[in-house]
Chain A
Amino acid sequence: MLKEIWDNLKGLYSLGVGMAITGRYLLSPVETIHYPRQVVADEIMESFRGPIQLTFGPKDPAQSRCISCQMCVKACPGHCLTVTKGETKSPVVWLYDFSYCCLCGACVETCPASALEFSHKVYLVAKSRAELSMDLLADLKSRALKKAESVKSELPGSAPTTQNLAAPGPKDSPVKAEATKTPLANSDPEPKAPTEARPPKKAAKADPLPSDATIESRPKNGSDQ
């Protein structure tokens, strides 16, 4: 009897402890992010496995490492890849239908030339299925162009090509990604090929002030439909 009363008093005390915890949480600042006004830093996005993309070539970043061996096409369980070999080993057509992709990464795993990788596109939006079928070669070209531009603006004195050679792939120094605000994972706003239809990324970093302009500028995509 006494023990039961004592247990209940202890339980009552534990209720007070719980209230203190939630009360403390109530007063501490929020940890989530107001999405359209603030975005997560691009460095954190490195761990996000978005739709696949081609890696930069070793010499010319716009030239893919792909050797058109068709391993990824065979490995893909969703049959979402189309690779056509050209005159040389390098492919002439590299189509990727994201609407069939299950993001399993089998293509990235099997690629013997390390030509594939996951992109970090978090904000990918599409209004139709056609927008989700992407031309990865055109995407690679546009990304390489963007990278060269950003390197040029970053280091006006040095040659941009050597910088590209030094750091192939999207893993760039975080300082640069922060300074240019256009990380390499982002695709460019103007599509190159008619088949390529991808919404541009939001390049702006976390904006502490709420501004409607960033919301407006997000999914503008005038290429198809």
Chain B
Amino acid sequence: MFLSLAIVAQIIVAVLLIIALMVGNAVVMVYMERKVAGFIQRRPGPYEVGPYGTLQAICDSMKLLAKQLYRPGNVDLILYYLAPILAFFPVLLLYLPIPFGPYLTALPVGDGVILILAFAGLGVLSNLLAGWSSNNKYSLLGAARAVSQTVAYEIPMILALLAVVFLSGSTDLKVVTDQQGPWPWQWNIVLQPLAFFIYLVSLVGETNRAPFDLPEAESELAAGFHTEYSGMGFALFFLSEYANMLLVSFVAAVFFLGGYKGPIADGFWWIFIKAYALMFFMVWIRWTFPRVRFDQLLNINWKWLLPLGLFNLWLTAAVIKVAF
């Protein structure tokens, strides 16, 4: 592959923009999360810092930056410091193939969805490393849960995406987007409602969000795998969690909701609107449902999502075979 200077420069600029997006996204999401939580519980949420509390998240991140990095005794030093970095950096790679606009893709890769699904697995590894190296039983339990949960929920997620890949005949995110129209009835969600539902459920499970937040269940495991992390170590996990949420929302927007296409004018604004609507949906879910038990969590996955995903895939294949 010919790697010209232009492509390198493009990737560097893209990665910088992606880092800015990740940090900005975390700030926005912290504010949104707390505000939505407040309104659902009929209280105002953050209010004092800045107009309507908008600067609260920035103050919190300043606090995290200035905080002492406390390291407990008997930790596995290399793994302990590697884990937050490993949680943060693969996410940068995952944003590269996403088409934000007709010409706005950081790195047009032919098999974008495969790249995303392959490197999303590194997030589990970082959780496992963090839990293992912390020398803390809560962390270890959280890590064990994180691994079994994330590995399980990856499968229906892939099955749901695969059904759309069958439809469009390509693993290129740009091609998948181009085959959908600007209006909602031209999106893949109309053709694949079951796949969208499966993706929606496994998206919550994959990002370890409530009600599937067992790896960091506060009431059971202190903070799960990141119990022993403070300051920027914690902040990196936090950033990568919100970045992962945004990523799966972007993927859902591309695969099911028409990506950057929309009424009036195509552009990155449409994919952002769609992704943040999904993020809002996830926050809404979090503040509505109680946490499931671990066996329930795995039962939902293995007994429902996986058979449904397989059925949906078979149905899609059969319809394509018969119709075309």
The answer to whether A28 and B289 have CB atoms under 8 Å apart is no
Which residue in A8, A19, A25, A27 is a CB contact (below 8 Å) of B285? A19
Looking at the assembled complex, report how far the CB atom of B203 sits from the nearest CB atom of chain A, in whole angstroms: 15
The answer to whether B43 and A31 have CB atoms under 8 Å apart is yes
Which residues from A are CB-within-8-Å of B43? Answer: 30-32
The answer to whether B284 and A26 have CB atoms under 8 Å apart is yes
Q: Given the complex of chains A and B, what is the CA–CA distance between A25 and B41 in angstroms?
A: 7
The answer to whether A30 and B40 have CB atoms under 8 Å apart is no
The answer to whether B288 and A30 have CB atoms under 8 Å apart is no
Q: A8-B304, A31-B43 are in contact. Are A22 and B284 (CB under 8 A)?
A: yes
Q: A31-B42, A32-B42 are in contact. Are A26 and B304 (CB under 8 A)?
A: no
Closest chain B residue to A31, Cβ basis: B42
Looking at the assembled complex, report how far the CB atom of B250 sits from the nearest CB atom of chain A, in whole angstroms: 23
A residues 21-53 in Cβ contact with B at 8 Å? 21-23, 25-32, 34
For this complex, into which size category does the number of interface residues on chain B fall?
10 to 19
The answer to whether A25 and B44 have CB atoms under 8 Å apart is no
Which residues from B are CB-within-8-Å of A30? Answer: 38-39, 42-44
Q: A18-B288, A19-B285, A19-B288 are in contact. Are A26 and B47 (CB under 8 A)?
A: no
The answer to whether A26 and B44 have CB atoms under 8 Å apart is no
Q: Given the complex of chains A and B, what is the CA–CA distance between A21 and B44 in angstroms?
A: 18
Closest chain B residue to A18, Cβ basis: B288
Interface bits B39-56 vs A (CB < 8 Å: 1, else 0): 111111001000000000
Closest chain A residue to B288, Cβ basis: A22
Q: A15-B289, A30-B38, A30-B39 are in contact. Are A23 and B44 (CB under 8 A)?
A: no
Q: Given the complex of chains A and B, what is the CA–CA distance between A64 and B304 in angstroms?
A: 75
Which residue in B36, B285, B289 is a CB contact (below 8 Å) of A26? B36
Which residues from B are CB-within-8-Å of A26? Answer: 36, 39-40, 284
Interface bits B263-286 vs A (CB < 8 Å: 1, else 0): 000000000000000000000110
Looking at the assembled complex, report how far the CB atom of B288 sits from the nearest CB atom of chain A, in whole angstroms: 4
Q: A18-B289, A34-B47 are in contact. Are A25 and B42 (CB under 8 A)?
A: yes
Which residues from A are CB-within-8-Å of B287? Answer: 22
Q: Given the complex of chains A and B, what is the CA–CA distance between A26 and B284 in angstroms?
A: 9
Which residues from B are CB-within-8-Å of A19? Answer: 284-285, 288
For this complex, into which size category does the number of interface residues on chain A fall?
10 to 19
Interface bits B289-306 vs A (CB < 8 Å: 1, else 0): 100000000000000100
Q: Given the complex of chains A and B, what is the CA–CA distance between A26 and B39 in angstroms?
A: 5
Q: A30-B44, A34-B47 are in contact. Are A25 and B284 (CB under 8 A)?
A: no
The answer to whether A23 and B284 have CB atoms under 8 Å apart is yes
Closest chain B residue to A19, Cβ basis: B288
Which residues from A are CB-within-8-Å of B42? Answer: 25, 28-32
Q: Given the complex of chains A and B, what is the CA–CA distance between A197 and B206 in angstroms?
A: 59
Looking at the assembled complex, report how far the CB atom of B14 sits from the nearest CB atom of chain A, in whole angstroms: 36
A residues 178-205 in Cβ contact with B at 8 Å? none
Which residues from B are CB-within-8-Å of A28? Answer: 42
Looking at the assembled complex, report how far the CB atom of A7 sits from the nearest CB atom of chain B, in whole angstroms: 12
Closest chain A residue to B42, Cβ basis: A31
Looking at the assembled complex, report how far the CB atom of A25 sits from the nearest CB atom of chain B, in whole angstroms: 5
Which residues from A are CB-within-8-Å of B36? Answer: 26
Closest chain A residue to B281, Cβ basis: A19
Q: Given the complex of chains A and B, what is the CA–CA distance between A29 and B41 in angstroms?
A: 10
B residues 3-47 in Cβ contact with A at 8 Å? 36, 38-44, 47
Which residues from A are CB-within-8-Å of B38? Answer: 30
The answer to whether A25 and B47 have CB atoms under 8 Å apart is no
Looking at the assembled complex, report how far the CB atom of A32 sits from the nearest CB atom of chain B, in whole angstroms: 4
Looking at the assembled complex, report how far the CB atom of A10 sits from the nearest CB atom of chain B, in whole angstroms: 14
Which residues from A are CB-within-8-Å of B284? Answer: 19, 22-23, 26
The answer to whether A25 and B39 have CB atoms under 8 Å apart is yes
Interface centre among A21, A22, A29, A34 (most CB of B within 10 A): A22
Closest chain A residue to B300, Cβ basis: A8
Closest chain B residue to A15, Cβ basis: B289
B residues 43-87 in Cβ contact with A at 8 Å? 43-44, 47
Q: Given the complex of chains A and B, what is the CA–CA distance between A104 and B42 in angstroms?
A: 33
Looking at the assembled complex, report how far the CB atom of B160 sits from the nearest CB atom of chain A, in whole angstroms: 17
Q: Given the complex of chains A and B, what is the CA–CA distance between A189 and B288 in angstroms?
A: 47
3 tightest A-B CB contacts, nearest first: A22-B288, A32-B43, A31-B42
In the complex, 22 of the A-B residue pairs with CB atoms within 8 angstroms, ordered by the A residue number, are A8-B304, A15-B289, A18-B289, A19-B284, A19-B285, A19-B288, A21-B288, A22-B284, A22-B287, A25-B40, A25-B41, A25-B42, A26-B36, A26-B39, A26-B40, A26-B284, A28-B42, A30-B39, A31-B42, A31-B43, A32-B43, A32-B44
